[in-house]
Structure 1
Amino acid sequence: MTSIVLVQPEIPGNTGAVGRTCVALDMELVLIHPLGFDISDKRVKRSGLDYWSHIRLVEFASWEAFLAERTPRDDQLYLFEEYANRSFYEPDYPEDAYLVFGRETKGIPAEIVAAHRDQLVSLPMRSDKVRSLNLANTVAAAAYQALRSHLPKP
């Protein structure tokens, strides 16, 4: 199963929308603390609408706790950062991939990026007027691209 990993998300509405995408695509949502909001926040559930109860939600106290429990292989981790040299179109995502996204304002913490440089990918931007997309939009695009690797070929 593919998992969406949000590292220290700050905006409850984005997390709710990401949760809704996870339900739609049968993916797990992994939240890495600290969060910038209380998970019971009405804004999280409002964005996830009545789907929130269907989310396969797992929470970890830290990135280190996530790594210790899940022990992901390098080929499972895909860290999404706007400055990555590799496009998210390039990998063949395994079915058990972890798609990792950082905080809305600061991205993935520098120490995590430094430890996983070879796993960085980015969504291409065709215009220099936009620095990045909204987190929920980026997750949706990435999730569908990862899913595409497992669709039957015509």
Structure 2
Amino acid sequence: MTNLHIVFDNPVIPTNTGNAIRTAAVTGAHLHLIEPLGFNFDDKHLKRAGLDYHDLADMTIHPNFQACMDALPGARVFAFTTHTDKWFTDIEYQEGDVLLFGTEPTGLPAEHLAHERITEQVRIPMVPARRSMNLSNAASTAVFEAWRQLGFNGAV
């Protein structure tokens, strides 16, 4: 299992979070959700997307961005955004790294991108003239690349 952290800042689409719960469960990553959330955990779409993996995933809900950062002291934080030229595959990931993603409609706010804890802003490459990737797909792409670099520790 890996010691990576996936952070969703103010997620609003329940199926994206459900998919991330499943990704966290199968990779061993820890999922962090920063409030406010755009759904509740009784949402049928969240449950359907996460299938029966909810009890298998490590997940923490934080009341705000700073509380989340405080809960991950010393960890490197990689902010995923379309506003940089640095590709996420150019990073040499380490155990304990944090993969930070913004809310679905707008991405990470400027103040979070500029936060002192951000190690680097990175992007997932896409063809031109596309706004962004789906949040849960982006998180899955990123965590599997980081885990691959770490040798798929704990995988079967």
Counterpart position of 2:69: 67
Partner of 1:24: 26
1:114 aligns with 2:114: yes
Q: Which of the numbers 23, 42, 45 marks the counterpart of 1:40? A: 42
Match of 2:59 in 1: 57
Cα displacement (A) at 1:145? 0.8
Aligned residue-pair number: 149
- SS of equivalent residue, structure 1 residue 31: strand
Q: Which residue of 2 aligns with 1:124?
A: 125
Instruction: Supply the AA of the counterpart residue of 2:115.
Output: A
Residue identity in the other structure for 1:29: L
Q: 1:13 to 1:124 in 2, by over 3 A?
A: same
Taking the aligned partners of 1:141 and 1:68, their CA distance within structure 2 comes to 26
Work out the CA distance in 2 between the residues paired with 1:27 and 1:12.
19
Distance 1:118 1:50, change over 3 A: closer
Equivalent position of 1:78 in the other structure: 78
| Matched position secondary structure for 1:95 | coil
Shift of 1:115: 1.9
**Higher helix content, 1 or 2:** 1
Structure 1: tracts of 5 or more residues without a match: none
Q: Is the 8 A contact 2:8 2:33 kept in 1?
A: yes
Contact 2:35 2:63 in 1 (8 A): yes
3-state SS, counterpart of residue 33 of structure 2: strand
TM-score under structure 2 normalisation?
0.89
Query: Could you tell me which amino acid in structure 2 is paired with residue 6 of structure 1?
Result: F
Tell me the C-alpha RMSD between the 2 structures. 1.5
Q: Aligned partners of 1:86, 1:39: CA distance in 2, in Å?
A: 35
AA in 1 matched with 2:73: T
Letter in 1 for 2:120: Q
TM-score for both structures, normalised by structure 1: 0.91
Q: Distance in 2 between matches of 1:10 and 1:101?
A: 12
